[in-house]
Amino acid sequence: MSWFVRKDKGIQTPTEMKREAPDGLWYQCPNCKKAMHTREHKLNAYTCVHCNYHEKIGSDAYFSILFDDNRFTELDENMRSADPLNFTDTKPYPSRVNATMAKTGLKDAVRTAYGSMNGSTVTMAVMDFNFIGGSMGSVVGEKIARSIDHAIKNRTPFLMISRSGGARMMEAGFSLMQMAKTSAKLALLSQAKLPYVSLLTDPTTGGVTASYAMLGDFNIAEPEALIGFAGPRVIRETIGKDLPKGFQSAEFVLDHGFLDFIVDRKDLKDKLSSLFGMLI
The 10s digit of each residue's pLDDT in 9-60 is 666 666 665 555 555 689 999 999 999 999 999 999 999 999 999 999 999 9
| Residues paired with 199 in a beta bridge | 161, 220
Average pLDDT over residues 201-219: 95
Q: Which helix (H) or strand (E) holds 146?
A: helix 138-154
- Angle between helices 59-66 and 268-279 in degrees, nearest 10: 70
Cα(81)–Cα(211) distance, integer angstroms: 21
The confidence score (pLDDT) of residue 263 equals 97
Average pLDDT over residues 104-130: 97
Q: What is this structure's pTM?
A: 0.90
The confidence score (pLDDT) of residue 183 equals 97
Pairing relationship of beta strands 261-262 and 218-221 according to DSSP bridges: parallel
